[in-house]
Structure 1
Amino acid sequence: MAVSRASRTASELSAQPACWRRAAEAAPSVEGLPRPGERVAVTGCGTSWYMAQAYAALREAAGEGDTDAFPASEFPARRRPYDRVVAITRSGTTTEVLGLLAALGTSTPRLAVTASPGTPVTRAAEAVAVLDWADEESVVQTRFATTALALLRAALPGGAAAVAAAADAAEAALAEALPAELLEAEQWTFLGRGWGYAVAREAALKLREAAGAWTEAYPSMEYRHGPVAIAGPRRVVWSFGVAPNGLSSTVAGTGATFVEGRAPLTELVRAQRLAVALAERRGCDPDHPRGLTRSVILAP
């Protein structure tokens, strides 16, 4: 019996806990990781950019040094040089990432995290972490991106233990049934604080990519400054982590469903599963969404 594209996507996202544990084991041997006190920039495109944002927030919160995250196309070239730049690219061929690394030159230490050995990015950075065992067939990213984050996070103080705990929690989330109100909604808004905001943005992207769904994402404290206006029946407001005081009652008053989630990556796994389920319901192909390709390669 042929394996459906949707089931391949589901298989890839279900493999995340094992991939995260392997990344944590590999982290001590990876060369080129940011050092304590360095001023670091992390970059990528799409999902990789959101993982860059999450890592930047985690690194600063750990007291390891100033850490900024930028989409590769918007990197501030005129800013004073960073001590190190980390680029995340699954395909290793993304035009904007390659252009940025070339523009930085050899004076800036550069680490590339990729799933694809032998691709141009492996020649554009002097340090490379190849996570080919976390690569995917699907266009929509799940396990590579979160595994890249796990690798970087594991190198932070207490990071290995945090990755192990996240893997355990994700396994539990994979075994749970998705609530009917999530599946039957017409609109989903994801909220988060700190690094959870970046993961919330990734969750929203997954539903848009895989199922063409109407999704939005905001910092938790910003939600009542306007976006709450769209809350209502058959709409979901999903907090990645503990929500601000009073937010749940505000949302309930609109008739929307409020979900106060657990740790950000646990909730991301649930959102990924929801994205696949919605795609199947809508007759979409989550492996090859409309208008998307595995890598964005632009003509010169």
Structure 2
Amino acid sequence: MTNKTTTEIQSQPDTWARAIAESSSNAAFFGLPGERVLFLGCGTSAFVAESLASLRERAGLGETDAAYASEWEPGRRYDRIVAITRSGTTTEILDALTAAGPEVARSAITAVADMPVSDLVDQNLVLDYADEESVVQTRFPTTLLAAARAVYGYDQGDLERSGRATLAAPLGVDVARFSHYVYLGSGWTYGLAQEAALKIREAAQAWSESYPSLDYRHGPIAVAGSRSLVTIFGPVDPSLVADVEATGATVRTDSLDPLIQLAQAQRIAVALAEHEGLDPDTPRGLTRSVVLGQPELG
């Protein structure tokens, strides 16, 4: 029987297509041109926030920061704060929005309508078609990023078609060969690398790391070896590939869109979980939302 996580991974080309089609009517949720914007998130959403900040600044749309809601303290001036929270119930997100005060415009991007975050923002973009039943996030973050890239004017080419073909093909990775998974990215894809490594830890309880691509040689490469699979998101520096391969590690690169690369990393996480006899739908110690001081949400 196919687990929920796999079903949701496979559905991503459909949710990407809808997000792109609806992007023109949702532009304000990702920061208007010229606004100074802060994206806030926790866990997966914090990595998405980092990618969004990089994409927006690279597009020349205004100064943009990203922060972990659990660590953020008011101080810098922003025109808009955008909270990313799949459930709309995460305590640290709610606390950060409350601390921000009423003088700054506040938006939220969620997968569920009419949650507590809705009472703390001026507007709430609900991507309910990208919500997940699984605890592990897969299609919500990638769908949000597909929407943002469309809003920011990035050409996403044949993302839907290529994604559908790639996800229908065999994975091409024998997870039994590897015990160490490394993901590298640069610019906006560093957030994706962090998210990919998190999927391995969440779903499969396995050893995974993530680093900015060109910083990998500055220490972390020391633990790479024959049981390491190193995946590079986006543009590849041939000298880095050569240095990593010299350790005996396997390097995985391709010309796929980075969102499709992330979907492939999600597939690896599920395959590894199943290889280890784990259920990827119910990762150890995790719940759908971190709600502090209250009963955990299922």
Aligned mate of 1:259, from 243, 252, 255: 252
2:277 matched to which residue of 1?
283
2:69 matched to which residue of 1?
72
Q: Deviations over 1:43-91 (max 9, x none)?
A: 1111111111111111111111111111111224122x20111111000
C-alpha separation in 2, matches of 1:292 and 1:127: 29
**1:231 touches 1:254 (CA, 8 Å); kept in 2?**
yes
C-alpha separation in 2, matches of 1:261 and 1:141: 24
1:297 matched to which residue of 2?
291
C-alpha separation in 1, matches of 2:158 and 2:95: 37
2:108 matched to which residue of 1?
112
Aligned length in residues: 292
1:48 matched to 2:45? The reply is yes
* More moved, 260-269 vs 212-221: 260-269
What's the CA shift for 1:33?
3.6
**1:54 touches 1:198 (CA, 8 Å); kept in 2?**
yes
What's the CA shift for 1:183?
4.7
1:192 matched to 2:185? The reply is yes
C-alpha separation in 1, matches of 2:178 and 2:213: 20
**1:32 touches 1:110 (CA, 8 Å); kept in 2?**
no
C-alpha separation in 1, matches of 2:141 and 2:126: 12
Structure 1's consecutive aligned runs of 4 or more residues displaced over 6 angstroms after TM superposition are none
What's the CA shift for 1:22?
0.7
1:131 matched to which residue of 2?
127
* Aligned alpha-carbon RMSD (Å): 1.5
List gaps (5 residues or longer) in structure 1: none
C-alpha separation in 1, matches of 2:253 and 2:30: 34
C-alpha separation in 2, matches of 1:127 and 1:168: 32
What's the CA shift for 1:129?
0.4
Give me the identity figure in percent. Answer: 50
1:243 matched to which residue of 2?
236
Aligned mate of 1:230, from 208, 218, 223: 223
SS at match of 1:258: strand
Residues 95-174 of structure 1: pairs in structure 2 closer than 5 A: 95-157=91-153, 159=154, 161-162=155-156, 165-174=158-167
Aligned mate of 2:205, from 196, 206, 212: 212
List gaps (5 residues or longer) in structure 2: none
C-alpha separation in 2, matches of 1:169 and 1:180: 19
